[in-house]
A and B are shown apart, each in its own frame.
Chain A
Amino acid sequence: MDYLASIPRKVVTVYIPLAIFLFILLFPFYWMTITTFKSNEELYNYEDFSPFWVSNPTLANVYKLFFETSYPTWLWNTMVVSVAATFLSLFCAVCAAYAIERLRFKGARTAGLTIFLAYLVPPSILFIPLATLVYAYGVFDSNWALILTYPTFLIPFCTWLLMGYFRSIPYELEECALIDGATRLQILIKIMLPLAVPGLISAGIFAFTLSWNEFIYALTFISSSEHKTVPVGVVTELVEGDVYHWGSLMAGALMGSLPVAILYSFFVEHYVSSMTGAVKE
């Protein structure tokens, strides 16, 4: 169809709208970034300085964030919780996806459907009863509260994604191994997992970013500053009274976004293809 459209027409119908989309989608990040490096006098003075540019970049806001707040602790907590919840979920999801997709046991279809429905249960319905449970199990206000609850939305998601991936691995390979007398566990570990590495990576990245993003559980189950995650810490502790320190707030938002953005940029192709793959199923 492209050959039908002349160049000037394509500029109007494609390039200009696309440029506007990109501008709007990226502007908040640009704004976040330049605010991070502005000094206070520049930040609130639109008369003498152009608001769209940084005249005298400073690291004062970043310095303040890392040395005068608990931000490093929050980063560390978010990292620990995300990594632990991701591994726990991947382990459960690999077993479940293999069982549903390959063992085809009685009730496998029902199990698959249940897992899918579990993904549709939103955290904003679950956080109140979970809070009472977290309290009853004695893990309230610790990293464990989050490591144990995040898998509730990570397992359904990862299982669903891995089911699609396992389906794409030829069944013949497994049949041969079965004839050679391999057990199901050996097949899973020695044949399926090595072949499913790309799927595992994308499920892992998804799980990691979802954990890094999570807010409502972390807000409800954590009360002390030393156990907060980045999103909760920034919102509840960097906002002091009526005076907002926009410089360090934006620095906190920027530094909290960078880890996922960097991780994602390395695996973007995986990410896009598996996201679209998961939806196509």
Chain B
Amino acid sequence: MALQTATQGTGAQADSVGLAARLGQNRTFLGVLFMLPAATVLILLLAYPLGLGVWLGLTDTRIGRAGVFIGLENYEFLFDDSVFWLSVFNTFLYTVVASIVKFGLGLWLALLLNNHLPFKAFLRAIVLLPWIVPTVLSAIAFWWIYDSQFSIISWTLIQLGVIDHYINFLGDPDMARASVIAANVWRGIPFVAITLLAGLQTIPQSLYEAAVIDGASPWQRFRFITFPMLTPIIAVVMTFSVLFTFTDFQLIYVLTRGGPLNATHLMATLSFQRAIPGGQLGEGAAIAVAMIPFLLAAIMFSYFGLQRRRWQQGGGD
């Protein structure tokens, strides 16, 4: 806009140059100008689709046919749909179990890596690998590891004499749930560990020295120094972890596609299945929208948790 004004009309050139210069000084104008590219993309392809998704959830749109407004019918239908409720249950089970295990093992790994070790940088680098490699591709490796006839886990356990027949990792409902959770944990540990490690390294060493002089046990040092100092970063990491686990799609799609008997269907995979191969875009959108309240709850929980923590510590903002 500044350029347009500057090149407009020859008579008022001096004036418009002045205007351009003034606009060039105006922070608000410049701010809006600099925000424009990002805002355009995010409004057109994020905010608008988000609203459109809510709208689609209120219609009976199918692939290849525009839908009409049907109010809450999709939700009423889902309310009576046992597969939907099973997917809600699975999503919670998957999120809660995987997040807790990821947190526990991630914290442990972070504490291990926080010791004085040889090849520290190298260790950090290889620990992150499961997080870097595309999820789908590592999930395929897990698929092969979990194979019903050639699973290396079953083979090893049989050789060791622990079991006497091959485990049907992805064919049995409970086993399949455990298997996908294990794969998710495997992928998530590095992220939790490396970020918590960064948090650990910001804790002043003098606190530990003082505690040692006062005779604090290792557990007390962890409980009263490490954990409180780490709380803010734990809140951030766990919000992310919960959010991404809750909306996971790739791993399930590759390993089980929701089976056996829908035992591993998450809300995201059910939404995909109903909308794209099933063609019921409206219903799929309704399932996706049903995830939003849970996501908001997770964000609020960690946000207020963090605020309360700060307030306890006497910090203002």
Chain A residues in contact with chain B, CB under 8 A? 1-2, 4, 10, 14, 17-18, 21-22, 24-26, 28-29, 31-32, 35, 43-44, 46, 51-52, 88, 91-93, 95-96, 98-100, 103-108, 111, 115, 118, 120-133, 148-149, 151-152, 155-156, 159, 183-184, 209, 212-213, 215-216, 219-220, 230-232, 234-235, 246, 249-250, 252-254, 256-257, 260-261, 264-265, 268-269, 271-272, 275-277, 279-280
A28 touches B198 (CB 8 A): no
Contact of B129 (CB < 8 Å), options: A29, A107, A149, A250: A29
Report chain A residues within 8 Å CB of B281: 128, 131-132
B17 to chain A, nearest CB (A): 13
Output the least CB separation between B301 and chain A (Å): 13
In angstroms, how far is the closest chain B Cβ from the Cβ of A44? 6
Given contacts A93-B38, A128-B284, contact A215 B250 (CB under 8 A): yes
Q: Which of A46, A125, A156, A215 has the most CB of B within 10 A?
A: A125
CB of B181 within 8 Å of the partner chain: no
Residues of B within 8 A of A (CB): 24, 27-28, 30-39, 41-42, 45-50, 52-53, 56, 61, 105, 108-109, 112-113, 115-117, 121, 123-130, 132-138, 140-142, 144-145, 147, 150, 152, 155, 186, 189-190, 194-195, 197-199, 202, 208, 212, 221, 233, 236-237, 243-244, 246-250, 253-254, 268, 271-272, 275-276, 281, 284-285, 288-289, 291-292, 295, 299
**With A120-B295, A124-B268, A128-B281 known to touch, is A95 a contact of B37 (CB < 8 Å)?**
yes
| Chain B residue nearest to A281 in the complex (CB) | B236
Bound complex: CA A280 to CA B112 (Å): 20
**Additional 12 contacts, C-beta under 8 A, given A18-B113, A253-B140, A272-B194:** A26-B126, A92-B41, A124-B249, A124-B271, A124-B291, A128-B288, A212-B134, A235-B136, A235-B253, A246-B147, A249-B144, A257-B137
Pairwise interchain contact A44-B194, C-beta atoms closer than 8 A: no
Q: Are A31 and B144 in contact (CB under 8 A)?
A: yes
User: Contact between B125 and A268 (Cβ–Cβ < 8 Å)?
Assistant: yes
- Chain A residue numbers with a CB within 8 Å of B28 are 105-107
**Residues of B contacting A: mostly:** helix
> Helix, strand, loop or mixed for chain A's interface?
helix
A14 and B197 CA atoms in complex are apart in Å by 15
Max count, chain A CB within 10 A of own CB: residue among B28, B126, B133, B284: B133
Q: How long is the Cα–Cα vector from A120 to B298 in the complex, in angstroms?
A: 11
Q: How far, in whole Å, are A276 and B32 apart by their CA atoms in the complex?
A: 30
Given A152-B41, A261-B129, A279-B198, A128-B46 contact (CB < 8 Å): no
Taking a contact as CB atoms under 8 Å apart, the answer to whether A122 and B244 are in contact is yes
Please indicate the chain A residues that have their CB under 8 angstroms from the CB of B39 in the complex: 96
